Chain A
Amino acid sequence: MGKALGVEAKSVPAPDEDAATISVMAARRALARSSIDPGEIGAIFVGSESHPYAVKPTATIVSAAIGATPVMTGADLEFACKAGTAGFQSCLGLVNSDDGQIPIRCALAIGADTSQGAPGNALEYSASAGGVAFIVGREDVIAEVGLTMSYTTDTPDFWRREGMKYPSHAERFTGVPAYFKHVEMGARQIMERMGTKASDYDYAVFHQPNGKFPLKISKSLGFNREQILAGLWTPRIGNTYSASMMMGLAGILDVARPGEKILAVSYGSGAGSDGFHLEVTDLISEYPRSKAPLVSEAAANGIEIDYATYSKFRKKLKMEGE
């Protein structure tokens, strides 16, 4: 199954990790690379399908754990795998607004998940855990967002009802009418408005539910392998859901140089895509990447575990004495 999905390994959360702990670690690493005071952060949005509480925002836990409280706002967002980029867009809106009306100059967008599929399901094979945090501001940016646009429809490709442990998906909708249509339209509308074509970009990154879909969509949009390799992480760590496209973008920013252009499109079932046109600034050459692990380092840092340990971790098998 690994070969069919193009996934060689996936990350698994430890028993004491959840979307909140992963969000906090990602946020702390983002801050470690920045000179901003956590008190300057005016908003925190955490996008996830696996928030630990149904009611009690993960964003509040992150806020306290990085010292951003109390003059700030925060919210948890949900939109399948694109909740993190929905937060990214919200941050852009707040920081670019009139300071007299909304005095927020700096915000934090996080995508984090510890998702799981029912045992034996294809989702079980690729669903993994991970988180990414981006600091969004107006000054000293390493990448400028030139344009962001979304493409949204009501498509029942994947869902989970309240109280159910595992999600369901409609085979008929998962591929063409859902992922491919929304990512393609999302990418095309960005390029149309920017007046760009695939060859104008140094890098492209698309949501990665498995290793195959992003290869197929990038080919049909006219991107080659070199353009997408730096942002392709699902084959090595699995589908980190809300963090998936953001992880790819973080991987690209780990290697990007001044002046380079990036096209990034996330996808969330239900369904929609968020597209971003980004240009890397000169400041990236001074950006202290070494103050936190690169995506490649974080991915290589894992410990290999067997399925029994994995199941124990995920509480799927009834354990002795429990």
Chain B
Amino acid sequence: MAVARHWRNQDQRYNLAGTRCKVCGGHFFPKTSMCPSCHRRSLGKLERFQFSGNGTISSFTIIHEGMPQYSSQVPYVIAYIDLEEGDHIIGQIVDSEPSEVEIGKKVEMVFRKLSEEGRSGTIQYGFKFRLTP
């Protein structure tokens, strides 16, 4: 079950693929089947949209005791990111000390390992973010 779910979300997780509404021009993440502002008028007028992965941190929290899978990464930062093209997303900030992370700092998307189903199961990959150098 989990393998199939991860596979269905692959485009979203790998490529930050969301939806563009051709009626109002809005960009949405994750993918949606109806534009939140145009509602029924957007039916049949939605297309796949790939976000650049550039954004700005609008808030964040530092996790000191994470899930067992993340024990080698604590303390780590989970941030609320305003995407350049619109909409926002929650993602982990990697490759910097938590003390370097600040609201308003620019970030870029990186491709990382998200989780793995034990030592014999599949590995899930997808987006995380890091401070733009």
Residues of A within 8 A of B122 (CB): 56
Q: Does A64 contact B (CB under 8 A)?
A: yes
Contact A61 B15 (CB under 8 A): no
Contact status A17-B71, CB under 8 Å:
no
Interface residues on B, range: 20 to 34
In contact, A16 and B73 (Cβ under 8 angstroms): yes
Closest CB of chain B to A248's CB: distance in Å? Answer: 23
B111 touches A312 (CB 8 A): no
Chain A residues whose CB sits within 8 angstroms of the CB of B49 once the complex forms: none
- Chain A residues within 8 Å of B60, by CB: none
Q: Give the distance in Å from the alpha carbon of A297 to the alpha carbon of B71 in the complex.
A: 30
Q: Does A67 contact B (CB under 8 A)?
A: yes
- Residues on B with C-beta less than 8 A from A319 are 71-72
A28 touching B111 by the CB < 8 A rule?
yes
- With a cutoff of 8 Å between Cβ atoms, the chain A residues found around residue B96 in the complex are 303
Distance A24 CA – B15 CA, assembled complex (angstroms): 11
Contact between chains at A53 and B123 (CB < 8 Å)? yes
Contact mask A301-322 → B, CB, 8 Å, 1/0?
Answer: 1010000000011010001011
Chain A residues closer than 8 Å to B97, beta-carbon distance: 303
In chain B, positions 38-62 with a C-beta closer than 8 Å to chain A are: 50
How many residue pairs link A and B with beta carbons under 8 A? The number is: 58
Q: What are the interface flags for B87-122 relative to A under an 8 Å C-beta threshold, 1 for contact and 0 otherwise?
A: 000000011110000000000001111100000001
Known: A52-B123, A65-B15, A65-B125. A25 touches B71 (CB 8 A): no
Q: Which residues of A contact B71 (CB under 8 A)?
A: 319, 321-322
Contact with B along A57-80 (1 / 0, CB 8 A): 000010011010000000000000
CA distance A128 to B64 in the complex (A): 28
Of A16, A18, A67, most buried by chain B (CB within 10 Å of CB) is A16
A16 and B10 in contact (CB under 8 A), knowing A21-B112, A67-B15?
A: no
* Contact flag A65-B111 (CB < 8 Å), given A301-B133, A319-B72: yes
Does B110 lie within 8 Å of A321, measured CB to CB?
Answer: no
Q: List B contacts of A321 (CB < 8 A).
A: 68, 71
Known A-B contacts A15-B73, A65-B125, A67-B15; the reply to A21 vs B95 at CB < 8 A is no
Cross-chain contact B73 with A21 (CB below 8 angstroms): no
- The CA of A14 and the CA of B123, in the complex, are separated in Å by 16
- Give every chain A residue within 8 A of B110 (Cβ-Cβ): 21, 25
A38 to chain B: closest residue by CB: B15
Is B128 in contact with chain A by the CB < 8 A criterion?
A: yes
New A-B contacts (11) at CB < 8 Å, excluding given A20-B125, A67-B15:
A15-B73, A16-B114, A18-B113, A20-B113, A21-B113, A25-B111, A64-B10, A65-B14, A65-B15, A67-B50, A322-B68
Supply 23 A–B pairs (Cβ within 8 Å), ascending by A. Answer: A14-B95, A16-B73, A16-B94, A16-B112, A16-B128, A17-B112, A21-B110, A21-B112, A21-B113, A24-B111, A25-B110, A52-B123, A64-B10, A64-B11, A64-B14, A64-B15, A65-B111, A65-B125, A303-B95, A312-B72, A313-B72, A319-B71, A322-B68
By a beta-carbon cutoff of 8 Å, the part of chain B in contact with chain A is 10-11, 14-15, 50, 68, 71-73, 94-97, 110-114, 122-123, 125, 128, 133
Q: Please report A residues at the B interface, Cβ cutoff 8 Å.
A: 14-18, 20-21, 24-25, 28, 52-53, 56, 61, 64-65, 67, 293, 297, 301, 303, 312-313, 315, 319, 321-322
